[in-house]
Amino acid sequence: MSTASGSDRRLPDLAAVAAIVLAVAAIYTQTAWFQFLSWDDQAYVTSNFRVRQGLSWDNVVWAFTALFASNWHPLTWLSLLLDSSLFGSWAGGFHLSSAAWHLATSLLLYSLLRRMTGELWRPALVAIIWAVHPLHVESVAWVSERKDVLSAAFGLIALHAYLSYARAPSVRRYLLVLAAFACSLLSKQMLVTLPALLLLIDYWPLRRLTSANWRPRVLEKLPFLGLAVAAAFMTVVAQSVGGAIRTTDEFSLAERVLNAISSYGIYIVQHVWPSDQSFFQVFRMPSLVWVAASLAMIFSLTYLAWRWRERTPAMLVGWLWFLGTLVPVIGLVQVGVQAWASRYTYIPSIGLLIMAAWLLPVPDFARARAMSTGIAAAAALSVIALTARAFIETGYWRNSETLYQRAIALDPRNHVAHTLLAQFYAERGALEPASRHANVVLRLAGGGGRISANAMLSLSRVLMDLGRFDEALAMLDQVEKIDPDGPTLHYNRGTLEMLRGVPLAALPHFERAIRLQPAYSDALNNRGVALARLGRLDEAAEAHRRAIGVDPFNFQAHYNLGAALAALGRPAEALAAFQSAATVAPGDVRPRLRAAALLRTLGRHEEARTVFQEVLAIDPGNSTARMEVTR
């Protein structure tokens, strides 16, 4: 009898877990066929030679010491390194890994609320709506945002550990909470507000915080506060090194405050009515009407949460959770040039959903069948609608072109999307659409639009590819006024001079870029190209070797080293360099053709014939290889 009873009690939990698993799978299984994006995924995966190498002791050390991509998040790097070891270059593996972390986090949220409150219906509702909400698609479907799902997962593990500690205090359990919190911060410094969250759940539902014992409860959180301060310091250092923090010259304090108020209002509305999402929200001054409406929402909900704190303490806790966890990303310290971002709601939305769920009555079909049926039906329809919307939104992340086109369809004045799309087309030789999108950005810039320095740098490269050198130079001049010591600025200036055929003028720019960023592999490589064109072949070979030392996956550096060594009359060394280039880029036939030609020169004709056959296997129409094989 007792076994059956226990089984009956487990059935609702199993049903809730099954619903969450099925819903997440329905939305995110499609990502197995998605590609990497040209927006940050290059820095995080595709052009990051550390990640491409996979797990190794050297790369683990790098993960904990690197201030890379304007961030310090060792556990995020370890997660991506592990994915690389498991999946190689298969983007779908990385995407499914993010989806698995999101599913685990959803289940952690359900079990946490279940353990804390003893309820079933409300925790299940919060967890499944959180799991399927369209606002969280960006955090899951974008590989570069792995840090979001990791940080949230370890944060919820910390709350689980704290719940165990609160019910049976011990040093070991306290240290487990600290360790899980540290792991969250080592993934992303989003949950620096965890000490405050611990006080909130002390108030409700744990009922550990009262007016009589607040002092020991606060002192208990001081070690967590120390970790949070240290993490915040590392964030500022990493963002400053990466040039991501905006100055008050770019964004005034008044603009930041108004945008922060506006963003709170947007996040509230988007939770209730998640409209179409763009990967990038351009920073524009919000209307005073919307700022006033946002303020009204904030003050009204704050008043009601305080007024009903005795009757519904979950409303106050949920509301303060939402307000507080958004503070690090609300824009008072402006990082980047976006106005707001849906990924910032990944943890804060838990608070809003707790507030909403505990305002609803628990369905009681025995006493109020009609009302309970209505509540259950409304909840089910909401979950279905959100799942369908999230599935559609996820589909836009399948590749770079689709994502950027979607952003432009939602906002034709989105200069970041136009710039990235122009760059996407230029890299593929589609010059007409690249030129069209570049012209849009130039019009926006000429019309007084606020164009970010990064967008202008990217646009300058597109203009170079289009042969519009004077416009590219004008764009770089504008960037120099904003950030005169940016390594990419000087790299682009050097590249421009190279394209103009003036390698002597390019050299100082590449050298300055290298002084500013000694591990700038592309700048080291291009310096070698400039030296080679000036006839300084020994120096060129050394520059290419330095570039390879910084990034062993730099195909151009391997290829250019081979060319320099061949010109120096060192065919055996040149052959090794071309073979390395072929290993780095197996789909590119150029290094194989050069290697085969060198093998002919060295009298190794059968080996040369084999390499020419490899070229034909890659490119059956290659006339040079076909002629060499048949001769």
Walk along the chain (631 residues) in steps of 10 and give the mean pLDDT of each run. 56 94 98 96 91 94 85 94 96 98 98 96 97 98 96 98 96 98 96 96 94 92 95 79 53 85 95 90 90 97 96 97 94 71 96 96 77 87 96 97 96 93 91 91 74 85 92 91 89 96 96 93 96 96 95 93 95 94 90 92 90 90 84 70
Residue 436 lies in a domain: yes
What DSSP designation does 212 have?
T
Residue 509 backbone phi and psi in degrees, to 5: -70, -45
SS3 71: strand
Of 134, 138, 131, nearest to 95 (Cα)? 138
The crossing angle, in degrees rounded to 10, of helices 590-601 and 605-618 is: 170
Is the distance from CB of 430 to CB of 400 less than 8 angstroms? no
Q: Domain check: are 486 and 341 in the same one?
A: no
User: Where do we find the tokens 């915080």?
Assistant: 209
- CA–CA distance, 403 with 78 (Å, rounded to integer): 27
Residue 425 lies in a domain: yes
Residue 378 lies in a domain: yes
pLDDT of 91: 97
Q: Domain check: are 335 and 385 in the same one?
A: yes
Q: Domain check: are 509 and 550 in the same one?
A: yes
Q: Domain check: are 267 and 356 in the same one?
A: yes
pLDDT of 51: 94
Give the pair of three-digit tokens for residue 45. 């995966």
Q: Domain check: are 464 and 517 in the same one?
A: yes
The last residue of a domain, from among 365, 395, 425: 395
The last residue of a domain, from among 371, 395, 419: 395
Give the pair of three-digit tokens for residue 321. 């959770």
pLDDT of 1: 39
Q: Domain check: are 355 and 374 in the same one?
A: yes
Burial group, residue 267, by CB count within 10 angstroms (0-12, 13-18, 19+): buried
The last residue of a domain, from among 349, 373, 395: 395
Question: Which CATH number do you get for residue 557?
Answer: 1.25.40.10
Give the pair of three-digit tokens for residue 276. 């179409």
Residue 2 lies in a domain: no
- Find the domain containing 31 and state its range: 10-395
Of 76, 14, 18, 15, nearest to 51 (Cα)? 76
The string of DSSP codes covering 48-69 is -HHHHH-S-HHHHHHHHH--BT
pLDDT of 177: 98
Q: Which ranges in 242-367 belong to alpha helices (H)? A: 253-272, 288-307, 313-326, 348-359
Q: Domain check: are 560 and 599 in the same one?
A: no
Distances (CA, A) of 35 to 4, 314, 397, 475, 516: 48, 41, 8, 31, 32
pLDDT of 296: 97
Q: Domain check: are 509 and 620 in the same one?
A: no
Residue 579 lies in a domain: no
- CA–CA distance, 135 with 147 (Å, rounded to integer): 16
pLDDT of 350: 98
- CA–CA distance, 591 with 228 (Å, rounded to integer): 50
Q: Domain check: are 455 and 532 in the same one?
A: yes
Q: Domain check: are 592 and 532 in the same one?
A: no
pLDDT of 2: 42
Residue 421 lies in a domain: yes
Overall number of domains in the chain: 3
- CA–CA distance, 9 with 395 (Å, rounded to integer): 38
Question: HSE on the CB side for 64, CA within 13 Å?
Answer: 7
- CA–CA distance, 522 with 543 (Å, rounded to integer): 10
Q: Domain check: are 195 and 217 in the same one?
A: yes
